Chain A
Amino acid sequence: MSEIFSPVAVPATKPAQVASEGAITRAVLIGIAVAFLALFLVLPLFAVFTQALSKGIGAFLDAFREPDAWSAIRLTLTVAAIAVPFNVVFGLAASWAIAKFEFPGKSLLITLIDLPFSVSPVVSGMIYVLLFGSQGLFGSWLIDHGIQILFALPGIVLATVFVTFPFVARELIPLMQEQGTAEEEAALTLGASGLHAFRTVTLPNIRWGLLYSVLLCNARAMGEFGAVSVVSGHIRGLTNTIPLHVEILYNEYNFVAAFAVASLLAALALITLVLKSFLEWRFAGELAHGRAH
């Protein structure tokens, strides 16, 4: 606020800038940082939209008149609709067990839950190929029983669940740990059942953290490329998610259509960022700490 009022009102209270850089250095550093981010991060995002609209709005819309685009959109929504709720249930169970109880081996368990984040996306897809592929561990058994996992919806869902596995749990575990068990204990001693206490005490306490993690989990689930690309088999109109459809269009030199479909995902990323920043700003105290800035 101080810069709105005239500087005469505040100078005495403002300490000498001994613990900061000079104004010129500051301006130069801000300039370099902002220019670097604009060039490396913002320009690519900008390029997606300009390329998508480079041949006019008609060419942009043409990309969505293709049935293959629609089947890709449908598949991506289906995969996210399975993977995200699965990870929500898992995250709630894991954070309940880990944050509300004391048992040995807890940090090992948290490390194992985090494991998918440190595995390359390609390797995440590959481990399912090794299990379910025709030459894989269960490959011949699956063929004998006519079960299709790879190059079909189950494989894509599995790979997506794998890469998004830690999202909800790693947000909720520190959040629940911070909140402790006192409120649940109070509810239980007042006669609430365990499930009732969870619904009326725990869930309201963690709702913003849960929403925050669902946002990030969903963005990753819909945008995952490497892992899904390995297990999908790239069957047009059948096993192509939106990112895979973008890849095919791009490799066919159909750049306008590729960027038009990609702009859907870019818009999703933007919405995710806006909502995420809003949650961080408005509900900083109700998210796992270390997020407020």
Chain B
Amino acid sequence: MVETPRPKSPLLRSFRRPSVIPGFGISFGYTLTCLGLIVLLPLAGLVVKASGLGLSGIWEVATDPRVASALRISFGVSALAALVASAFGFLVAWVLTRYRFPGRKLVDAAVDLPFALPTAVAGIALASLYAPDGLLGSALARLGIQAAYTPVGIFIAMVFIGLPFAVRTVQPLIAEIDKEIEEASATLGATRLATLTKVVLPPLIPAVLTGFALAFARGVGEYGSIIFIAGNLPYVSEIAPLLIVIKLSEFDYGGAAAIATIMLGISFLTLLAINLIQAWSRRRFGYV
């Protein structure tokens, strides 16, 4: 054992396990200071503002028809978009890990595009593509679907923004699947479809659910890529984050804080669900 060079204060020494490595006090202190000042204090300000309203005040804002409709649109469309993103995300992850084809690396890199492309840029690009006279908008119009300025547009933007979460959560787990299990299943006489649905898929379900929850949470909070294509008609295509911006510009801080609290509450429940899924998955399958 190496001796600790300088005795620290008794509090720090009992708090952390002894180590020869220096710099715990300063790095830990700096971390907590930054975290406190930049993240925790401002978020506490939101909690203070919201608790000033009380549950009845928040409920009053939530049941305002325009707010209720915006929340319904944000959460409803996001759930639908996360569902589609999860399905196609699974397919993309499967194709990228299991099959070899020319341009695979390029396709793999393209999956991260929504992470890298600023939301406002994605927003105006989607709006111009799906506008009634746009490349895809005119094609959809011929099918009788109007995408821009309707919930369909919001749905498209949310699928765009949620897809990387769905792909990247499932992809490492598909790569880890033991091929021998599939071969065993096949040699025991199972058809390929039976092997996939009974052997391969079940252990992947927690990851798919996690990807769904992440895409869902991202879609609910998303602003930049949606507002341009949505057209923001109250009661039709107005999302909750936009309503926060409107309330702030009207100096209705209480109303904005109430909407934000409701959104954070539901997002928190989603995160909690993810953690429960992962804990359950660890117990059931031995990995996340």
- Least CB distance from B5 to A in Å reads 8
Per-residue CB proximity of B123-153 to A under 8 Å, as 1/0? 1111111000001100000000000000000
Question: In chain A between 116 and 175, which residues have their CB closer than 8 angstroms to a CB of chain B?
Answer: 116, 118-123, 126-131, 133-137, 158, 161-162, 165
User: When chains A and B are docked, how far (Å) is the Cα of A161 from the Cα of B264?
Assistant: 20
Q: Are B21 and A188 in contact (CB under 8 A)?
A: yes
User: A109 with B31: in contact, given A100-B19, A126-B244, A276-B112 (CB under 8 Å)?
Assistant: yes
User: A48 with B121: in contact, given A36-B92, A113-B35, A127-B45 (CB under 8 Å)?
Assistant: yes
Per-residue CB proximity of B114-128 to A under 8 Å, as 1/0? 111111111111111
Question: In chain B between 177 and 201, which residues have their CB closer than 8 angstroms to a CB of chain A?
Answer: 179, 182-183, 186-187, 192, 195
User: A101 with B92: in contact, given A41-B111, A90-B34 (CB under 8 Å)?
Assistant: no
A78 within 8 A of B: no
Which residues of chain B have C-beta atoms less than 8 A from A224's C-beta?
A: 118
- Least CB distance from A114 to B in Å reads 10
- Least CB distance from A33 to B in Å reads 4
User: When chains A and B are docked, how far (Å) is the Cα of A133 from the Cα of B46?
Assistant: 13
Q: Are B163 and A181 in contact (CB under 8 A)?
A: no
Q: Are B186 and A93 in contact (CB under 8 A)?
A: no
Which residues of chain A have C-beta atoms less than 8 A from B251's C-beta?
A: 133-135
User: A131 with B42: in contact, given A42-B113, A123-B263 (CB under 8 Å)?
Assistant: yes
- Least CB distance from B43 to A in Å reads 6
Q: 3 nearest interchain CB pairs?
A: A223-B118, A120-B221, A194-B22
Which B residues are closer than 8 A to A by beta carbons? 2, 15-17, 19-24, 26-28, 30-31, 34-35, 38-43, 45-46, 48-49, 88, 91-92, 94-99, 101, 103, 105, 107-129, 135-136, 156, 159-160, 163, 171-172, 175, 179, 182-183, 186-187, 192, 195, 217, 220-224, 228, 241-242, 244-245, 248, 251, 253, 256-257, 260, 263-264, 267, 271
